[in-house]
Structure formats: C-alpha cells, structure tokens
Structure 1
Amino acid sequence: MRESFLHGRTALVTGSTSGIGLAIAKALAAAGARVAINGLGTDEQIAAAIAEVDAAGGARPDSVRHFGADLREHAEIEAMMSGLAEWSNGGIDILVNNAGIQHAVPLHEMPVHKWNDIIAVNLSSAFHTMRIAMPAMACRGYGRVINIASVHGLVASKDKAPYVASKFGVVGLSKVAALEYAALGNRDSGGVTVNCICPGWVETPLIEPQIEARMQGGSREDGVRALLAEKQPSLRMTLPDEIATLAVFLCRREAHNITGTAIPVDGGWTAQ
C-alpha cells in the first residue's frame, strides 16, 4: 500500500531526466507530490522521463511538468521558479538540487569555460533556486531542500578542481541556509530543513566505460570490484533508488530536526 504523505506538496528536482534525479522524482511522485522535472535530453528522452514520473505517481492529472531552464543562466532559473510558483500556488515545498556536470583534467589544463560552467550548474544554480524558493517554505512552516552533493564535497580527488570546489561549496551553502532557517516552523508543521546527500559510486550508465576498462577479461562484477577498490571499501555501488529512498525520508515530518547535515552514502569512503 502506497503512503502518500506528500499529497498536496510540490517538488522540483533538477537534473531529473535520468539517473539519480529521475529516481528521486519518481520516489517523490510515489509519495504523493506533484513533481517538476528539469534536465537535458532529446524530446523523446524528456517525454519518457515525464511518463515514468507520472506512472510512479499514479497518473494523477497535471502532477508532472518539465521545465527546460538552462541552469547556467540565472535569468532562466528565475523564469522557471516563477512558473513553478504559479503552478504550485505560491511556491514549491521540496527542492532537490541534483543537476551536475564534470570535466576531469589537471588544474593547469582546465579550460576556463569548463570551470565557469561547472560552478554555475553545480553550485550557483543551487544558490539561485534556494534563494527564490525558501522564503515561501518559511511562510508555510514546512520546506525541504535536499542538495545532492558528492563524496567530493567531503574529500578531494585529483583532476577534478571545479567539481570538488563546487561540491564543497554546496555543502557549505547548505549549512548556512540550514542555520538561517532552523527555527522556522515547528514539529507539527515539519519545519524547514536543508541537507546534503553525498554519494560515492552510484550505478548509472555513465560509469559503464570505467567498469569495462577494469574487467580485464573477467566478469562485470570483477570490473565493479576493481573500480570500487580504489576508493569505496564496501566494494558495492549504491543504486539510484537507494539515494531516492533517503531523499524521501528527509521529506518526512519526523525529519524536522535533521538539518545542516552532509550524509555520505559511500560504502566507507570518507571513513578512511
């Protein structure tokens, strides 16, 4: 039996046409929320994502919309948030900043435009969505901001200067916002909380080439274990649906005192 504890709530999930973001959008819809998705893709890919989220939510009328804002452009973010305020009758209740891009080369080889784009999408877009969305959350006494950071918001790796800088920045930004909004609302309303989820290796199609490169004639499982052995002691990847389950839990009223955290889901990576 489905528990629709988010009935009447509206969520925005950025970077949600695939991967972790799509899994979170589907989980929020299944919990009863209306969900706005945002992300890149062909018309067919976007239509497929909308259909998946709609199905997860039980195909309720006007329960899913796609907003195509380019998160590098603050004016487009502002237009998206304005449209969302109209759709949600005053502003969203749940904000999941999941969109992210990466370019891995040594610091001295990093193109300036790549630095600018990564900081814009991974960090500045979260600032813009939060600054616009959170005042309405404060007025209602309920709001959830869940920023999908990364294990690289807690520890660094070589060749990822803008990515690591952006993810450390998201963690710091989230802590500041959590402090500023911590006393708003109450136990009954659910309060306004801001948290980061910091995944390590997550099983998405994007990492398949890295797995294949380490198989060396063995099985896919051999490739996974070889890849994870470099960083993640559990030798198991996390599934997108598992990140989504954690995100939905953070939206519960009972999570009103979980705020300002950066929760690693990394198989022990950051415990070393």
Structure 2
Amino acid sequence: MTGRVAIVTGGGSGIGGAVVARLAADGYKVAVVDLPGEAGQAAADAAGGIFIGADLSQRDQCHRVVETTLAQFGQVDVLVNNAGYQHIDALEQFPEDRWEHMLAVMLTAPFLLMRYAWPSMKERGWGRVINIGSIHSLRASPFKIGYISAKHGLLGMTRTAALEGGPHGITVNLIAPAYVRTPLVEKQIADQARTRGIPEDEVIEKVMLEPAAIKRLIEPAEVADLVAFLCTETAGTMSGSVFEMSLGWTAR
C-alpha cells in the first residue's frame, strides 16, 4: 500500500475510470470526481474510495472537491485532471456560452483544483499533478475551436506549474493521447459523421486515424498505465513534460 491519496476528475468512465481502477489497484486512496450520478459512485465503490459529485465549471465546487478529500483522507498527493467533453462546432457556429463552459471545465477547473491541492503537496514535499491533454494540445483540427484552445492552454499551465513545483517535490506533466476508445470519442465519431456528411466508419479511418502510423484507437487502460508510472518515485525527474501517445501522428 502506498498510503497516498489521489483525486481523479471525470473518474466515472473512460480514461478517468481506468485511472481510478489502476491507482486503487496500486494502493492509492482515491477520490472519484464526476457529475452526480451512478457511474461515479460505482467507480468509487469498486475502488474502495469516495465519490464526490461536482460540477467543475463552478469555482466553489472545485474548492469543495479538495476540501472533501482533505477532510476524508487528510492529504492530497496526486491530482489527475481528466474531466472534459467534446463538442463539434464550426467557428462561426460556436455559441459563446458553450465556449465559456468548455474552458471552465477543461482549463479553469484544472487550475483551481491544482491551486487548492497545492498546499497539501507542498507541506509534504511531494506531489504529482497529471493533466490529461490530447494530441490536440500540440496540433489543431477544424471544428474543435473550444476543445483545442483548452488543451493548448492546459499545456502552458502544465509547464508553468512545473517550474513552480520543482523546489517543493511537486511534478506536473501532461499526457497527450490521440483518440482513445471512450464514450466521448464514440459521441465525437457520430458528431463528425454528421458535420462532414460521411459514414461513421469513414470518420475513424479517414479522419481520426488517417495521420496515424498505428491504425487503432488507444485503450483507456493504456493511458492509465502511463498515469501510474508518472506517480512513481522513478518518474520524479520528469516534470513540465509532454508524454505523447500519438500513434505516430506527430512523426510527420
């Protein structure tokens, strides 16, 4: 048992669900954060952790997530910022309120959660912040203006926080996967098919995997394996880094 405590946002399914299961198997006490509902509670129950239902677009609820974790476990050692969503909109059709909400969940919330968890990590002289970015933290694509803006911003925040955390034993890194087999990606396939007017199988083959050297989707457990590694002592020299899981996308 590690005796360490992890907060995982978006922990009810997909990448977050796989991370929760992996960290729990490695001995972490896990606070599973997701929108109120059965999925997050089930993930927490399976992991022997706690579930915190929260809307991370709200500042006070981000603060409540960390305070609840501290009240339950007494510390926060690992923060995995994974919560988010995908939506396909052309620039001229992207509503202002959706832009604001997307950036609140995918960029402002990671900042707030890190800020609130930082004192616990600093006090103990050890911490791991792992931001789940995307290959779109490094590359752009059409019809994803909000998503890509948030993911690019998350990379800049990762690098800055790494510089501030280094003297205190806190590492901050970003994982940048290509398309992962999650409910969000399955929805995106349908949205892309509708936007582009092509069948869903062509979206996978001709849009998602066309730039990739390895022609398959990534499994959530593969991302969770990398998260688990970045939480180890062995990874203590790695901070401010981007860990690509790009299927060869960026090799061109």
Letter in structure 1 aligned against 2:18: A
* Equivalent position SS for 1:245: helix
Between the aligned partners of 1:192 and 1:127, the Cα distance in structure 2 is 15
Displacement of 1:214 in angstroms is 4.0
SS at match of 1:104: coil
The alignment yields a C-alpha RMSD, in angstroms, of 1.8
Greater than 6 Å deviation, 4+ residue runs:
none
Please point out which of 136, 139, 155 is paired with 1:171.
155
Structure 2 counterpart SS, 1:182: helix
Identity %: 38
Change (3 A) 1:113 1:171: same
Matched AA of 2:84: G
Deviations 1:169-200 (A, max 9, x none): 1110010000011122xxxxxx3100000110
Please report how far the alpha carbon of residue 227 of structure 1 lies from its aligned counterpart in structure 2 after TM superposition. 5.0
Q: Per the alignment, do residues 162 and 226 of structure 1 end up closer, same or farther by CA in structure 2, a change over 3 Å counting?
A: closer
**3-state DSSP of counterpart to 2:212:** coil
For residues 41 and 82 of structure 1, what CA distance do their matches in structure 2 show?
A: 17
In the TM superposition, residue 47 of structure 1 has moved relative to its aligned partner by 3.2
Unaligned 5+ residue runs, structure 1? 55-63, 185-190, 217-222
Instruction: Find 1:13's aligned residue among 8, 32, 39.
Output: 8
Q: 1:110 to 1:12 in 2, by over 3 A?
A: same
Question: What is the 5 A alignment of 1:1-272?
Answer: 4=1, 7-40=2-35, 42-43=37-38, 45-54=39-48, 64-89=49-74, 91-184=75-168, 191-208=169-186, 210=189, 213-215=199-201, 224-272=204-252
Q: Counterparts of 2:67 and 2:184 in 1: how far apart (Å)?
A: 32
Give the C-alpha shift of residue 224 in structure 1. Answer: 4.8
Q: 1:206 to 1:132 in 2, by over 3 A?
A: closer
Paired with 2:218 and 2:32, the residues of 1 have a C-alpha distance of 22
Deviation at 1:166, TM superposition (A): 0.5
What's 1:187 paired with? none
Q: Secondary structure at the match of 2:21?
A: helix
**SS in structure 2 opposite 1:183?**
helix
| Counterparts of 1:153 and 1:122, CA distance in 2 | 12
Larger-gyration structure (1/2): 1
> Shift in Å at residue 225 of structure 1?
4.3
Q: Aligned equivalents of 1:92 and 1:127: distance in 2?
A: 15
TM-score (norm 1): 0.84
Give the residue type in structure 2 aligned to 1:52. Answer: A
- SS class of match (2:32): strand
Cα distance in 1 for residues equivalent to 2:138 and 2:42: 34
- Please say if residues 36 and 53 of structure 2, whose CA atoms lie closer than 8 Å, have aligned partners that are also in contact: no
Cα deviation digits, residues 83-133 of structure 1 (max 9, x gap): 1111121x3000000001222111111001100010000000000001111
CA contact (8 A) 2:178 2:246 kept: yes
